[in-house]
């Protein structure tokens, strides 16, 4: 699976958009981009995934660059409850069973 690089931490003001970047410059054509988040003392929670097109759901939007070497998770109106560690994971659909979470980005949403 391709390696991902994320900033260690980010801040965002409540009500503003939170844009979380992820670099995956070695991604191959059949690898998906997944995002999970983990709120303190809870298990990780699935947010969204995509292959090449931008995706949106009730939680977030995922913007993948045309060359697919990077992506951005967008939380359009961050709330205090969005404070969490956000993990960007790249994997091949049929590559096996493990998700490599890495260390993620610790997002702090401030009042």
Partner 1 sequence: GAGVSQSPRYKVAKRGQDVALRCDPISGHVSLFWYQQALGQGPEFLTYFQNEAQLDKSGLPSDRFFAERPEGSVSTLKIQRTQQEDSAVYLCASSRSPPGERPGELFFGEGSRLTVL
**Binds partner 1 (CB under 8 A): choice among 66, 67, 81, 93:** 93
Structure tokens at 44: 């990780």
**Binds partner 1 (CB under 8 A): choice among 40, 53, 81, 96:** 96
**101 near partner 1, judged by CB under 8 A:** yes
> Which residues 11-70 are close enough to bind partner 1 by CB under 8 A?
32, 34, 36, 38, 41-46, 49
Q: φ and ψ at 35, to 5 degrees?
A: -125, 135
Nearer to partner 1, 63 or 99 (CB): 99
How far is the C-alpha of 107 from the C-alpha of 54, rounded, in Å?
Answer: 22
Structure tokens at 28: 């191959």
How far is the C-alpha of 85 from the C-alpha of 106, rounded, in Å?
Answer: 4
Structure tokens at 19: 């844009």
> Least distance to partner 1 from the beta carbon of 35, Å?
10
Taking every pair of C-alpha atoms in the chain, what is the biggest distance, in angstroms?
42
Contacts with partner 1, residue ranges (CB under 8 A): 32, 34, 36, 38, 41-46, 49, 85, 87, 91, 93-94, 96-104
């Amino acid at each position: 699976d391709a390696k991902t690089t994320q900033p260690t931490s980010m801040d965002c003001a409540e009500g503003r958009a939170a844009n979380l970047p992820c670099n995956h410059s070695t991604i191959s054509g059949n690898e998906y981009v997944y995002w999970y988040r983990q709120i303190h003392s809870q298990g990780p929670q699935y947010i969204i995934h995509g292959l090449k097109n931008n995706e949106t759901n009730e939680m977030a939007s995922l913007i993948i660059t045309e060359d697919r070497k990077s992506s951005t998770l967008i939380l359009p109106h961050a709330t205090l409850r969005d404070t969490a560690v956000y993990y960007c994971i790249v994997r091949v659909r049929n590559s096996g069973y493990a998700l490599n979470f890495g260390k993620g980005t610790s997002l702090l949403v401030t009042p």
